[in-house]
A and B are shown apart, each in its own frame.
Chain A
Amino acid sequence: MTHHNPLAQFEVQTVLPLRIMGLNLSITNSSLYMFSVLAIVMLYFSLALSKKALIPGRIQLSAELIYQLISKMINENIGTKGKKFLPFIFTLFLFILFANLLGMFPYSFTVTSHISITFVLAMLVFVLITVTGFVKHGLHFLSLFLPKGTPWWLAPLMIIIELFTYLARPISLSLRLTANMVAGHVLLKVMAGFVVSLALFLKFLPLPLMVVLIGFEIFVAILQAYIFAILSCVYLNDAVNLH
């Protein structure tokens, strides 16, 4: 019965129990898939950049396209000062992208469907923004909480509201990714269940719809990684180029 539960696919299961100094460091399917993502990304890039041909082959071209996408994103959103954040955004994008895509395989586990993981990624961005802001601008960074042209009697309220807006960033960043992945996978499973029961009346007709939905899910997987990266850039821009 549990196999029919659309939420069963998100269960974290221990694969290799491990306790070190009283800490539960077991290898779960979640961490196993994260290691897999790491291995796949490293393998892909070492394969893509092994030849370094002047006229790139397909695999090298794809790697260069990803690099160009991120490089352009940073140039457009942060400017030349954002160059040093390229490795961070690039890593973030690739990790989320491959985690999302790996979750699209049947019987696999979607790492990014757990808020504990996406929230840590979002907090990483949040802490980086805050630290960068304070290092670059010192206490002047706090002027971010008071928009220009605010009348003095509105200032206390505006500061609180801006603080709320600032604190909402990591939550919206992590929630968006998790919600999209969970909703997509649950929808796929429920629809797949319908396909089975509808086969009695409509034969194979509903099956192409599933193919379209899976295609749409792959699109969402790529888009969500892109959105996470671009929003990180937008938020970093606030810290780097303070108005």
Chain B
Amino acid sequence: MNQNNLEDKIKKFKLKDEQLTSNQFGKTNSLSEKMTTKALTVGIDLVAGVLVGVIIGTFFDKLFTTKPIFLIICILLGIIASFRNIWLKLKNDSANDPS
């Protein structure tokens, strides 16, 4: 009888402990950690896409000597790409969010 009681108690505490670590510390921590990482990285993503556009645009313009055309097109594509990058990042986060 006593032994059963003890085992029950141990089980109870283990369950409690697991719940505590998974809910209070594990999940929220990793979620907020992820959000912080994403929030801190979004700004540069905006710049990077445009920069890629500029680099590729100037390269093609030099190749075909069509000065502003490829630059304009590639910058526009770069802007779209950078916004898509950000959107993908945020979409992944909201999909993982349990709330």
Instruction: Give the distance in Å from the alpha carbon of A76 to the alpha carbon of B41 in the complex.
Output: 19
Binary contact readout B48-60 vs A (1 if CB under 8 angstroms, 0 otherwise):
1101110010000
Chain A residues with CB below 8 A from B81, complex form: 161-162, 164-165, 168
Residue in A168, A176, A223 whose beta carbon sits within 8 Å of that of B85 in the complex? A168
Least Cβ–Cβ distance between B52 and chain A, in angstroms: 5
**Residues 31-47 of B contacting A (Cβ, < 8 Å):** 37, 40-41, 44-45, 47
Question: Cβ of B37 and Cβ of A227 under 8 Å apart?
Answer: yes
Least Cβ–Cβ distance between B98 and chain A, in angstroms: 16
The total of interchain contacts (Cβ-Cβ below 8 angstroms) comes to 58
Residue in A161, A168, A176 whose beta carbon sits within 8 Å of that of B51 in the complex? A168
Question: Cβ of A175 and Cβ of B44 under 8 Å apart?
Answer: yes
* Interface size, B (range): 20 to 34
- With A223-B40, A227-B40 as contacts: A164 and B45 at CB distance below 8 Å: no
Question: Cβ of A168 and Cβ of B30 under 8 Å apart?
Answer: no
- With A160-B77, A227-B37 as contacts: A179 and B44 at CB distance below 8 Å: yes
**Residues 212-243 of A contacting B (Cβ, < 8 Å):** 223, 226-227, 230-231
Question: Cβ of A172 and Cβ of B40 under 8 Å apart?
Answer: no
**Residues 99-157 of A contacting B (Cβ, < 8 Å):** none
Chain B residues with CB below 8 A from A172, complex form: 41, 44-45, 47-48, 85
Residue in B37, B40, B52 whose beta carbon sits within 8 Å of that of A168 in the complex? B52
Instruction: Give the distance in Å from the alpha carbon of A226 to the alpha carbon of B38 in the complex.
Output: 12
Instruction: Give the distance in Å from the alpha carbon of A164 to the alpha carbon of B53 in the complex.
Output: 7
Question: Cβ of B41 and Cβ of A176 under 8 Å apart?
Answer: yes
Chain A residues with CB below 8 A from B30, complex form: 76
Question: Cβ of B44 and Cβ of A161 under 8 Å apart?
Answer: no
Which residues of A are at the interface with B, using a C-beta cutoff of 8 A?
A: 76, 160-162, 164-165, 167-169, 171-172, 175-176, 179, 223, 226-227, 230-231
Can you report 27 A-B residue pairs in the complex whose CB atoms are below 8 A from each other? A161-B77, A161-B80, A161-B81, A162-B81, A162-B84, A164-B49, A164-B52, A164-B56, A165-B49, A165-B88, A167-B52, A168-B45, A168-B49, A168-B52, A168-B82, A168-B85, A169-B48, A171-B48, A171-B52, A172-B47, A175-B44, A175-B47, A175-B48, A223-B40, A227-B37, A227-B41, A230-B37
Q: What 7 A-B pairs have minimum CB-CB distances, sorted nearest first? A: A172-B48, A164-B81, A168-B48, A176-B44, A171-B48, A165-B81, A168-B52
Which residues of B are at the interface with A, using a C-beta cutoff of 8 A?
A: 30, 37, 40-41, 44-45, 47-49, 51-53, 56, 77-78, 80-82, 84-85, 88
